[in-house]
Every structure is written in C-alpha cells, then in structure tokens.
C-alpha cells in the first residue's frame, strides 16, 4: 500500500508541476500500469479524501508510523480493455513498523484498503483486492511480500475478477 501511495503522491506532484509549466510544453505524464491482475495490467487514479501521518516514533530500533485518511474515491482500470471499477474507501488506517536493522516492514491495515500484489514479485501475486476489515502482513525493505498474510478479517472484493 505504501508503494502505491508513494506512486500516487508522485503523480499528484507531477500534475501540480504541470500546472506551472507553459501551455506549449505541457504533455500528459504517462499513467503507470501495474502487473497486478492475471493476464492484464491495471492503472489507478484517485480523487478527494484526506490523508495524514498521525504519528511517527522510534522505539527499540523500530520506526512506528500511523497514517489515517477518509473519503477517497479510487478508480482501477484494466489497461488493455479500458474497463474500470470505481469505489469509495470511506476511511482507513495504516500502521507500519519498520525494523531498522533488517528493513522488514510489518503492516496492519484497517478500514477500506486496496492491496495490489504484483506478478513475479509478490507471493500470491498478481492480485488486486479491496479489503474492508483488517489485514496484516510483512514485506521486505523493497515492499515485496515474501510471506503469506498473517491476518485477514472482514470482506474481500476481487477487483481483477470485475475487470477481467
């Protein structure tokens, strides 16, 4: 999720910079496509919502961070067919604990969270699932899922199945 948020932040910054450029040199930045569904890539866009880092602290070699937000509308699009699915997330909280020594990150997501697992990289990938409830998992320092999810509760919506 953090990788997706970083990429969405980058896209937002690029869009803001484009507003400052002269009209003659403006070109739409390419929308990245992610290998997150069996047989096709997906693109993401979002509107609205708020998101804040609520807390970051370091204790015993672990960096703890809490990010919370609400009201974001996300659109996931099949990059090949153009078919899309749009949904509101209402609210979510992302807690992460980064082990400074190993770089491993333990994630705890609650609320509505879109989780993309990439083909040939993440264990269990490719998949794009909207989890509403609680999901806990651990990634390495490259945000790669190398272990099965530790916890899943609530509902799961398979976005790939809807876009296929």
Q: Rounded to two decimals, what is the model's pTM?
A: 0.77
Give yes or no for a contact between 102 and 85, defined as CB atoms under 8 angstroms apart. no
Q: How far apart are CA 145 and CA 138, in angstroms?
A: 6
Could you list the pLDDT tens digit for every one of the 164 residues in the chain?
Answer: 444 433 333 333 333 333 333 444 444 466 689 999 999 999 999 988 888 888 899 999 999 999 999 889 999 999 999 999 999 988 999 999 999 999 999 999 999 999 999 999 999 999 999 999 999 999 999 999 989 999 999 999 999 999 99
- Show me where the domains of the chain are located: 39-163
Q: How far apart are CA 52 and CA 68, in angstroms?
A: 6
Distance of CA 142 to the CA centre of its chain: 14
Element containing residue 11 per DSSP (H, E): helix 2-20
Give yes or no for a contact between 136 and 151, defined as CB atoms under 8 angstroms apart. yes
């Amino acid at each position: 999720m953090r990788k997706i948020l970083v990429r969405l932040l980058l896209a937002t910054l690029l869009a803001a910079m484009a507003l400052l450029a002269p009209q003659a040199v403006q070109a739409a930045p390419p929308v990245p496509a992610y290998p997150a569904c069996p047989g096709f890539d997906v693109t993401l866009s979002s509107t609205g919502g708020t998101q804040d880092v609520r807390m970051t602290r370091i204790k015993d070699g672990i960096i703890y961070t809490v990010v919370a937000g609400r009201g974001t509308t996300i659109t996931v699009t099949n990059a090949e067919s153009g078919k899309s699915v749009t949904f509101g997330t209402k609210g979510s909280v992302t807690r992460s604990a980064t082990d400074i020594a190993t770089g491993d990150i333990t994630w705890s997501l609650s609320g509505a969270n879109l989780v993309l697992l990439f083909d040939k990289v993440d264990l269990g990938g490719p998949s794009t699932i909207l989890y509403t409830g609680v999901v806990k998992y651990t990634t390495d320092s490259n945000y790669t899922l190398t272990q099965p999810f530790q916890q899943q509760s609530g509902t799961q919506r398979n976005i790939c199945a809807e876009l296929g």
